[in-house]
Chains A and B, each alone.
Chain A
Amino acid sequence: MNLDPTPADEAFRAEVAQWMRDHLQGRFAGLRYRGGPGDEEADPALRKEWERELAGGGWTCVGWPRAHGGRELSIEQQVIFHEEYARAGGPGRMGHIGEGLIGPALIRYGSAAQQARFLPRIVDGSEYWAQGYSEPGAGSDLANVQTRCWQEADGSWRVQGQKIWTSLAHESEWVFVLARCEPGSRGNKGLAFLLLPLQQPGIEIRPIRQLGGGSEFNEVFFDGARAEAEHLVGAPGEGWKVAMGLLEAERGVSTLGQQMHFAHELELVIAAAKRNGSAADPMVRARIAQAWCGLRVMRYNALRMLSGDQTQLRREALIAKYYWSNWHRDLGKLAMDVLGAEGDVISDDPAIRPLQQLFFFSRADTIYAGTNEIQLNLIAERGLGMPREARPTI
C-alpha cells in the first residue's frame, strides 16, 4: 500500500487544474457547480457549448483509445482528471451517456461503420445520447423488456413500445434502445440493441415531473419508429450482451470525481451550519463528522476498487453503489435539518438552492441503477454466496 503521489501525477493534476481555471470562466463562469444530479436542466445550451470547449482542449472521452479519438489516459490520470474537473466546479457533463455508455459499447461491439459515424460526434460534443432501457414493466426486472422491434423488407427496423426514466431525451439527438426482436422470447433472450434518431415522426417524448419539480426524465413512446439497418449493434438476439457490456464499462474511474462533488456539498452544509449557528449544536456536529467519515470511506473504497485484483471477488465494488447512494441521501436530510425553516422556502440563493436539490434528488439515488433492495440481493448472493432469489419472467 502506498498512497504517496508520483511527480508525473502531480504535474498532470496541475495541468488539468490550470486548464479548468483558464477555461471555466467568462461566459462559462455561471456553470460552476451547476448541472449535477437534480440540476440537469441548468442551461443545457450553454453546457453543450462547454462540452465543445472541453473537446477543444482534448478533455472529452479522456479514457478512450486514441484510435477512436480519445486521450487514452491511464486509470490514474483519468481519476485525476475527474477529481480536478469536479474540484474546479466543472458542470454536470451533458455528454456523459455518449462518453461513458454508448461510446465504449460501440468501441467494443460496434461495426467500423458505426464507430466512424458516431464516435467522432461524441468526442467533439456535436451529438448527444439518451438511454432507452427501462420500461414501465421493466425496472428492477430490467430484462422484462416489452418494447418490440422487427425488420422491414428494406432491412430497416421498426420499434413499437414505451421507454421510461429516459434522462435528457429532450436534449438529445440519439437514443439507444433495447427491444424484443424475437416474438415470444423472454427475459434477456431475443433482444436487439438499436440506435435511433430521436427527431422522427414515430417518437414522442413526454417529460415526467419529479418530486423536486424538475423534469429531466422522460417517457419516450415509439410508434413504428425507424432505425436504419446498419444501426443494429451486435446480432439480433444479442442485445442483452451489448447492454450488459456497456454497464461494465464503468470501473469506478469517475467515482472519485463524484466524491469531489459530494465534498463540495458537505462544505455547503458546513457553511450553512456556521451561518445559522447550528454548527454549535452537538447533534449537528456529530452528524457532520459522520458525513465526513463517509467521504473518507468512499475515497478509500474507490482506491481499493481501482487497485483491486480483477480475479478476486470485488467486495468493495459490490458495496459501492449502496454505500454512496445512502450516504448521499443522508447528507440531503442533514442539509435540510441544518437549514431548518429556511429550507422550507423555495430559494434561488446559491447557498441554499443546491442543498434543497440535494435533499430532493438524492431520493432517486437509492432507486435508479439498482434499487437498495436489488443491491442488497446482489451483495448477499455474489458477496456472501447466499441463496439466489427466484427470477421469474412472465
Chain B
Amino acid sequence: MKPGSGIPSNNAGTPPNDVDMNFALNEDQILIRDAAESFLGDVSDSAAVRRALDSKLGYDATVWQRIGGELGWCGVAIAEAQGGLGLGPVELVLIQEQAGRHLLCAPFYATVCVAATALQDLGSAEARERFLPQIAAGALRIALPLHSGREQWLASAQALQARRIDGHWVLDGAVPRLVDVAEADYLFVFATIAGGGLGLFAVAPGAAGLGLQPCATWDGSRRFTDVQLNSVRADIRIDEPHRASEGVTRTLALARLYLAAEQLGGAQQCLDLTVAYTATRKQFGRAVAGFQAVKHRCAEMMVKIEALRSAVYGAAATAAGAVDNGTLAMECAMARVLAADTYFWCAQEAIQLHGGVGFTWEYDPQLHFKRAQAASHWLGNADVLRAELADALLD
C-alpha cells in the first residue's frame, strides 16, 4: 500500500479514445446543481461565511444538518445498499463546485469527498458497513489529513506506528494538520505497521492518549489540527489490505477531482465578483469595466476558468465511466493542476481589479485569496502533480 503515490508509474499515459456527445448534464444532474446553487446562495452568502469564520466550531451546525438530512448530499456518491443515492463523481463534482463558489464552511469535503471515497475504494466490508450508512445519513463527521505529495504521505505514515496488542491496534506518533477535527466523530490516519506495510486506522477523538492542537490558520474556512497519539487504541483498521494499493490510487484521484471542483467554483466567484464590481466602479467618468486593460484581464480569467471547467467535467465523466486507475489518476491530476493554478490566479486578479477595496477585510476577494493559497497544496500542489504526470508521460 502506497499512500500518495498518485499516478501508477507503469501507466503509458495514453489518452482514452472514446468520443461521445453526451457531455451535457442530464435532468437529475441539473436539478442537483440548481438545488446546490440555490441552497448555498441562501445559507452561505458572504455574511454567513463570515459568521462561520468567527465561530468557535468553524461552521453552522444547522446548515450541516440540513445538508445531511433534508438535501441528502452526504450520500450522493454512496451506493444505495449502504443508504446512499447511488450516484457518482459527476453529481458530487456539481455540489462541490457550488460549495467552493460559496466558500461553504462545513465538514463536507473531508467526510463525504475523501473519507467516504476511501471507505468505498479500499475499506474492508466491516468498515464500509460500519461507516458508510452513517455518513450517507449525515450522521458522521470524519477528520483526516490532506498532505501534498508522496513524500509527505510517506513521512506522515512513518511518523505514526501501529502495533497489534491484545487484539487491538495501538498507535504511537504524530500526524500534522488533520482537517475538520472539531466535533469530528473519527479521525482517519495512515500508520506504519510494525513488521511492515501501511494501514488506515480510525481513532475516536476522545480516546485516551490523544492530544489535539488546533492550528490558527489564515484561511479559517477549513480548519486544521495537529494530532499527537500516545499509545492510542484505534477503533478499527479500515483498509482491506488486498484492495489498498488500487484503492489508494482511486481515492486520491477522486479526492483531487472533488477538490478541483471546489476550486473551480471559487475561481468562478472571483470572476463574478470582479465583473460585478468593475461594472459599478466609476473612474474618469465611466465604469472601469469598459477599459480594455480591465476587460482583457477578466477575459483571461474566463479562459482559464472555462478550461478548468472542461477539465473538471471531463475528468468527472471519465471517473463515472469504465476507466482504469492509471488513466483516472492522470485525468484527475490534470484537473487539479489547472485548479490550483487557476483559483489562485483568479483570486489575485480579483484583488487587483477591485483596487483599494480588494485589499480590505470587508470585501470578499481576500477570503478566496486565502482559501486559494491554502488549497493550492492540498493533496499535491501543481508542481508535484506536474512531476507525477511527467513520470507517467516520460518514464
Contacts and interface: CB of A to CB of B under 8 A. Distances in A.
A113 B200 CA distance: 75
B174 to A, nearest CB: 31
A55 interface: no
A303 B393 contact: no
A319 interface: yes
Q: SS class of chain B's interface: helix, strand, loop or mixed?
A: helix
Which of A79, A279, A386 lies at the interface centre, i.e. has the most chain B CB atoms within 10 A of its CB? Answer: A386
Interface string B301-329: 01100111111011111101110000000
Which of B21, B26, B322 lies at the interface centre, i.e. has the most chain A CB atoms within 10 A of its CB? Answer: B21
Contacts, number: 182
A270 interface: yes
Given A322-B303, A387-B287, A296 B15 contact: yes
A315 B389 contact: no
B314 A296 contact: yes
B65 to A, nearest CB: 30
A380 B296 contact: yes
Which of B26, B287, B303, B316 lies at the interface centre, i.e. has the most chain A CB atoms within 10 A of its CB? Answer: B303
A304 B314 CA distance: 9
A319 B20 contact: no
Contact of A377 (B278, B295, B309, B387): B295
Nearest to A256: B19
A306 to B, nearest CB: 5
Nearest to B320: A1
A33 to B, nearest CB: 19
A174 B157 CA distance: 71
A9 interface: yes
A79 B20 CA distance: 10
B300 A386 contact: no
Given A282-B387, A309-B24, A386-B275, A301 B306 contact: yes
Contact of B337 (A6, A80, A290, A300): A290
Interface in A366-381: 373, 375-377, 379-381
Interface string B1-37: 0000000000001011111111111100100000000
Nearest to A383: B302
A295 B337 contact: no
Contacts of B287: 387
B298 A303 contact: no
B125 interface: no
A387 B303 CA distance: 18
Interface string A278-304: 010010011011101111110111011
Interface residues of A, number: 59
A274 B18 contact: no
A380 B295 contact: yes
B387 A5 contact: no
B334 A292 contact: yes
Given A297-B311, A384-B275, A292 B22 contact: no
Interface string B335-376: 001100000000000000000000000000000000000000
A303 B314 contact: yes
Interface string B154-197: 00000000000000000000000000000000000000000000
Interface string A77-88: 001100100000
- By size class, the interface of chain B is 35 or more
Interface in A313-329: 315-316, 318-319, 322-323
Contact of B19 (A79, A286, A290, A292): A79
A1 B313 contact: yes
Given A270-B393, A292-B334, A286 B387 contact: yes
Contacts of B208: none
Contact of B394 (A279, A295, A384): A279
A3 B13 contact: no
B295 to A, nearest CB: 4
B20 A9 contact: yes
Contacts of B321: 2-4
B303 A274 contact: no
Contacts of B15: 263, 295-296, 299
B386 interface: yes
A217 B56 CA distance: 68
A213 interface: no
Given A6-B20, A296-B311, A301-B310, 19 more contacts: A1-B22, A1-B317, A4-B321, A5-B17, A76-B19, A285-B394, A286-B386, A293-B337, A293-B389, A295-B15, A297-B311, A300-B315, A301-B306, A303-B19, A306-B21, A315-B302, A315-B306, A315-B309, A384-B298
Q: Closest 8 interchain pairs by CB?
A: A300-B314, A285-B390, A380-B295, A1-B317, A387-B290, A289-B389, A379-B299, A301-B310
21 contacts: A1-B22, A1-B26, A1-B29, A3-B20, A76-B20, A80-B19, A288-B393, A293-B389, A294-B307, A297-B314, A299-B314, A306-B21, A308-B23, A308-B24, A309-B24, A316-B306, A375-B299, A376-B300, A384-B295, A384-B302, A386-B279
Interface of A: 1-6, 9, 13, 75-76, 79-80, 83, 256, 263, 270, 273-274, 279, 282, 285-286, 288-290, 292-297, 299-301, 303-304, 306-309, 315-316, 318-319, 322-323, 373, 375-377, 379-381, 383-387, 389
